Structures are given as C-alpha cells and as structure tokens.
Amino acid sequence: MDYAKVISEEFSVKELYVSNIITLLDEGNTIPFIARYRKEMHGTMDDQLIRQISEKLTYLRNLDARREEVRNLITEQEKMTDEIASALDSAKTLVEIEDIYRPFRPKRKTRASVAKEKGLEPLANEILEGQTTGELPIELAQKYVDVEKGVETAEDALQGAKDIIAENVSDDAEVRKRVRNLVYMNGTLNSVAADADKESVYEMYYAFSQPINKMAGHRVLAVNRGEKEEFLKVSIEVDRSKPLNSIAMLYVNGNTPCAQAVREACEDSYDRLIFPSIEREIRNDLTDSADEDAIKLFGTNLRQLLLQPPIKGKVAIGLDPGYRTGCKLAVVDETGKVLDTAVIYPTHSAAQIEASKQTLKKMIAKYGVQIIAIGNGTASKETEMFTASVLADIPQKVSYMVVSEAGASVYSASKLAAEEMPDFDLTLRSAVSIARRLQDPLAELVKIEPKAIGVGQYQHDMPQKRLEEALDGVVEDCVNNVGADLNTASPSLLSHISGLSSTVCKNIVAYREANGSFSSRGELKKVPKLGPKAYEQCAGFLRVPDSKNPLDNTGVHPESYGAAEKVLEHFGFTAKDAAGGIPTLSSLATAKELEKLSSELNVGVPTLSDIVKELSKPGRDPRDELPPPLLRTDVLEMKDLKEGMVLKGTVRNVIDFGAFIDIGVHQDGLVHVSQICDKFIKHPSEVLSVGDVVNVKVLSVDLNKKRIGLTMKGLDNK
C-alpha cells in the first residue's frame, strides 16, 4: 500500500508532506519535535494533525500486516485463488479482510460441519445447481440416506444440505457487506426497560428507538451502560425483507422446488447466522465510533484545561474542604514551595468557625497571600461561603477561585506525592496540589493520570489503552508547546518533554542536585544516557533563563542558533539585545524581508518566522495570551438564583449535548447545545472551550434535583 498517497487523500494534504512525516517518524523523531522544528518538511501542520497522520499510518501498517497474515493462512490451506488474492489486495478495512477470511477460519462444531461429516456437501451443490431444472430436492436427497452415517431419512439429508448452504451464504463476504449496509441504513437501535417500575438515570431510554445511522455517540454510550447495569434491554431491528431480497438476488435462481429449498436456507442463514453476527458487529462499530468521539472530546477538553493561563508570581492558599475531618489548608509561595499548613473547621460549632476565621486571616497577613484556591469536592460550597465572609472582613485584596479537585486524591496517595512531600499526610498533600493548580495548572496536572482529571464523558467505559494513548499524546503536546524550565521542572513535567525517557529525567534531576543549576542547554550533554538524538529532540523545549546565551531561554533550537544570530545582525541587534526581548523585531521582519533572508541563509521562512517570534519575547508563555481565569470575592447559593438572572461563569466541561458552567453556586449549570448561540452548531466545542469565561442567563432552577438550566442566547459572548 502507498501509505503517503492514501493518507494524503484522506487528510487533503500534499503527498510529499505526508511522505516526509513518515520518514521523520521512522527515523525516531517525536511528534512535538517534527511539528515545531521541521515545519518546512510538512508545510507547518500542527501537532494534532501530525498525530492523526501517525495514528493512521499505524492503522494502515497493521491492516497490511493482517492482510499478509490472512493471505498466508489461506495459502497454507491450498485454497488461494486469483479472485481471493485480488479481493485481499483491494480490501481497505479490517472488516473486509476478516469477511474474506471467514470461510477459511477454523470453526467449532456447527450444524453445517456435522452435515459435511455425513457426506451431504455434494447434495447441497446438487440443490444449488438444480435450481434451473424441475428436480425435486427431496428426490435428490433420497440417495444420501445412510443410517450408518446418521442420515436416517431424505428429510434429514435435505435439512443437512440446507444447513451447509446456510453456512456458505453466511460466510460469503459480498452477502455480509450487503446486509451490513442495509441494516446500517435501514435499521433502528431500540431499548426497553428491563423493569419499567425500577427508577434509574436511564428512564429516557425505557422506550427508545432511533435510526442506527443517526445515533449520537453519547446516546450509544448511555444505552451501553444501561444495558451493562441491567436496566435496559437493547436490540437492533430492521425489516428483514430487504436483506432477504438482497441475499436471494445472489443465491436464488428461479421459482423451482430446488430454488425454494435454497430460499429457505437463505432465510435460515439470515435469521440464525448472519443477522445476529451483523447486529453484534454494528453495535461494536457504533461503540467504537462513539468511543473515538468521546476520546477526541476528552482530549480537546484536557488540552484546554492544561493550557489554562497560570496565575504567576502570587502566594496562594489551597483549601481542601471537608466536614468531619475539617478543611485542610496549605500556603505555597510564588514557586509552589510549601510555607505552612493547618486544619480548620469552618462547618463545625460557632467557636470553631471563629477560630478558623482567625487562622485564615493570620495566614493571609503573615505570608502576603493574594489568591485562594478552593477544591470543588465535599463541603466546597460551605468553605466558599466561609472564605468569602473572611475576605469581606480583611483589608487585604484577596480573590478566590473554586478549582476542580478531580484526581487530587489519586495524586496525594501516589508514590510521586510521597517523594515530593514526605512530611505531609494525604489530605495536606491535596491542599498543596489544589493551590498549585491555580498557580500553574499544567505543571501540577501532569502529575495526575490524565483520565482521572475528569473533563470527559463515560471515560470509565472507554477502551483504557486507547484512552491513555490519546490523552498522553495531548499532555505531551501541551507540555512541549509551553516548554519547561530546565532548572525547576519536576521529573513529572520533564517526562513529557520530547525525547526524554523516565531514566533520563531522573538523571537530569540527579545532575541538577549534584552540580547545581544548569548554566546552559549545552550542559545537558553531560547528563548520563542523554545521547545526541535525545538532545536533538529535547533541547528546544527546555529553557535556561540564567544562561549567558539568551537564546537558551527561547524556543529557538540550538541547531538554529547560527541563523538566529544572523537574523539579529541583519536587523542591527546583538544577542545581548535579545536577552530582554526585542518587541520591534516583529514589525521589522516583514514577509518580504523574511523571504530575502531565507534565500541568503538557506533557512525556511517558517523557521525564520519562529525565530523572530522567540527573539521578540524570550521565555514567552503561549498561555499568557489567553484570557485570565475568573476570580471571585463573593458567593451565591443555589436558592439565590432566579430565572432571568445574568451571571458570569467558567466552562468546566464540554460534552456532546452541551456544556457545564461554574456560576459560583457549587452546582454547575447546563447550557444545552440548543442554547449556546442563535446559529445552528453541530457540537458545543465549535463555540466553547474548557476555561472560557462566559455570560449566561438562568433559565430554570430545580432545587430538589440540583439542576440549573442556562442559556447564552442573546448575551454578549464575543
């Protein structure tokens, strides 16, 4: 298979670019490195598209491997024909290849195999050939009666022959293809209640029916879960006359007695063998497609969450709410170092609430706290109200934000957390993590297994290996997009940097501890087991702010330092000028100038453009260009909400049917996809991203079910 041609057609990109990407991947280059430092070779594709191309390449190579495996298996049986070989060559999916292999697959004992053992296969062939004559199948069957073989009557022989025909029809790749398409285009997926009197979250699916080709992914996953939990019975239904007519066109010839026997065998084949198998296949296909969509959405949400703007240079308090065991409190400095911890009891007696207030006030005053992060778990609302009352009672200007604590407990109990904070118990580690999440979401969230972060739908139902691969790719892209400070990055953060193995990450930290801070990128070459290839892949993503060479604190790759120096020289600047940034460089480096420089230096325009961007603002953080997170100083309760109220909120999760918005009342509100904007959109992600700050209007409030309906229509959300 010409992989480059197939992939270029699917993704509508130049074949040369795809061919270059395949070569780069096969040479051991990472996707972040290819995306950032080999732009001329792929036409400036982003890391997400390159990752999709990489995944498609893997699929096609696996497809070819299975194609050859099946070819060998059929050849070993000495049943390979030119027709089968041609069909294998033209098969474009694994399903097509498996359909071709189906007749040759070793089978367990079946009605057809038993009939063949009784010598009835010739009778089956006679009946198929006898469709154009007036012969009676029962008379043809008479000569196959053999009591010793277990064929006691002509009827037994005829039934055995029909069983053989039924299995042959079922194994026919063309039949399966036609039936699969007909069922997919005309069938419906139905679900009914296993017990109509039993209450569950699946009640909307107790009498549900929808065309298969219109099933939304989230409905497929909801129905699957309802079936798994035994609340639903699920089936696919289709008017059987259409697939039966399609099969008859291939196998039934005329209206003779033999033709009628073949028709009966085809009906049996469809009801007993083909439809149950196709039903399983289609449901598996629906699930696979829904899984992929859900994984893609999870990845999109995770990317947006990881790239939330950090709140830099501020001392923070993290509050991990709780009732019985109290609220755990941790103060961290601007770099995330723990300064102090405490446990307060803002939900207990009046005396304890007052003591808790005094503790929080003292901490704020003593350490110059500017922001407070409150976990959104149990007792979050009470803790938020308590915090707001404290902030209203002090002279210092302090804001707070409720942050998702999804995965905080997983992290606090991990080996990594124990190594980082050996002197603190699990609950205090959670408070530290919550504070750091507000200061730098990316640096903190990379310590947690991505699927535990909680910005998807049905993530526990996904194929876990595929989910982990996709989410790890998102984390890798995000970390390398931002870059990392070589002298402060944790092993967790370093482990996602292009080209670095876990062993090399540990060696970097060990080298740092033994020799002090790195003074340059070049010093990386002294780290044990960090060879030339690893250095090439990682160097551009690691920053050394205090290096003598200002380029070490940019995204300019060491291989392009010569080009960067010539760019500076061309515009009348020096490397020293670049240390503080050269804002005017972007306006000087016009497209015309870059084209001229490109031919002079033999360096591509995309690379030169990136160099100019980095020299204009060394050490820049792409997250700084995003709108800041919404910080609060006051608090609302759900009972305070009234229909028509307009509030500001933060998008917490985007799902297939809408988005959940944090409006500061502990319970997130739902903006249904139909309420996001006036124009029609297929998916909420077309308009909304995790972390967006939006204006919403309250549509409905259900205190009993704790549901809030919101709309964005008619509001200014540009």
Q: Would 492 be classed as within a structural domain?
A: no
Nearest-angstrom CA–CA distance, 124 and 127 = 5
pLDDT of residue 635: 66
CATH of the domain at 597: 1.10.150.310
Ramachandran category for residue 283: left, alpha or beta (phi over 0 → left; psi -120 to 50 → alpha): alpha
- Are 585 and 674 contained in the same domain? no
- Are 683 and 653 contained in the same domain? yes
**CA-CA distances (angstroms) from residue 32 to 38, 49, 394, 486, 577?**
10, 11, 47, 17, 29
Nearest-angstrom CA–CA distance, 340 and 362 = 11
- Are 129 and 261 contained in the same domain? yes
Nearest-angstrom CA–CA distance, 31 and 614 = 20
Q: Which of 298, 325, 341 is the last residue of a domain?
A: 298
Q: Would 429 be classed as within a structural domain?
A: yes
- Are 275 and 346 contained in the same domain? no
pTM as predicted: 0.83
Q: Is 25 exposed, middle or buried (0-12, 13-18, 19+ CB in 10 A)?
A: middle
Closest CA to 540 of 37, 4, 77: 37
Q: Which of 104, 131, 154 is the last residue of a domain?
A: 104
Nearest-angstrom CA–CA distance, 35 and 266 = 54
Nearest-angstrom CA–CA distance, 486 and 491 = 10
Which range has highest mean pLDDT (179-183, 380-384, 632-636)?
179-183
Nearest-angstrom CA–CA distance, 160 and 149 = 12
Q: Would 222 be classed as within a structural domain?
A: no
Nearest-angstrom CA–CA distance, 619 and 123 = 81
Nearest-angstrom CA–CA distance, 322 and 327 = 5
pLDDT of residue 667: 82
- Are 289 and 378 contained in the same domain? no
Task: Pick 132 or 523 by higher pLDDT.
Answer: 523
State which residues form the domain around 246.
Answer: 111-187+238-298
pLDDT of residue 379 exceeding 70, the answer is yes
Which range has highest mean pLDDT (169-178, 376-385, 702-711)?
169-178
pLDDT of residue 666 exceeding 80, the answer is no
Q: Would 282 be classed as within a structural domain?
A: yes
CB 695 within 8 A of CB 677: no
- Are 152 and 286 contained in the same domain? yes
CB 328 within 8 A of CB 343: yes
Query: How confident is the model over 521-540, as a mean pLDDT?
Result: 96
- Are 542 and 524 contained in the same domain? yes
- Are 430 and 530 contained in the same domain? no
Kindly tell me the sign of the dihedral angle through the C-alpha atoms of 85, 91, 94, 99. negative
- Are 448 and 550 contained in the same domain? no
Q: Would 372 be classed as within a structural domain?
A: yes
- Are 542 and 584 contained in the same domain? yes
pLDDT of residue 456: 67
**CA-CA distances (angstroms) from residue 256 to 129, 131, 137?**
11, 6, 10
The neighbouring-strand residues paired with 29 are none
Q: Would 499 be classed as within a structural domain?
A: no
Closest CA to 43 of 13, 22, 7, 8: 13
Q: Which residue has the tokens 């997926």?
A: 189
pLDDT of residue 648 exceeding 90, the answer is no
Amino acid sitting at position 5? K
CATH of the domain at 68: 1.10.10.650
User: What total number of domains does the chain contain?
Assistant: 5
- Are 140 and 171 contained in the same domain? yes
Q: Would 27 be classed as within a structural domain?
A: yes
- Are 63 and 34 contained in the same domain? yes
Q: Which of 594, 625, 656 is the last residue of a domain?
A: 625
DSSP 563-622: HHHHHHHHTT--HHHHHT--TTHHHHS-HHHHHHHHHHHT--HHHHHHHHHHHHSTT--G
Closest CA to 182 of 99, 263, 247, 276: 247
pLDDT of residue 325: 87
Q: Would 87 be classed as within a structural domain?
A: yes
- Which helix (H) or strand (E) is 671 found in, with range? strand 669-672
Task: Pick 444 or 620 by higher pLDDT.
Answer: 444
Assign 364 a pLDDT band (cuts: 50, 70, 90).
very high
Question: What are the tens digits of pLDDT across the range 264-308?
Answer: 999 999 999 999 999 999 999 999 999 999 899 889 888 988 888
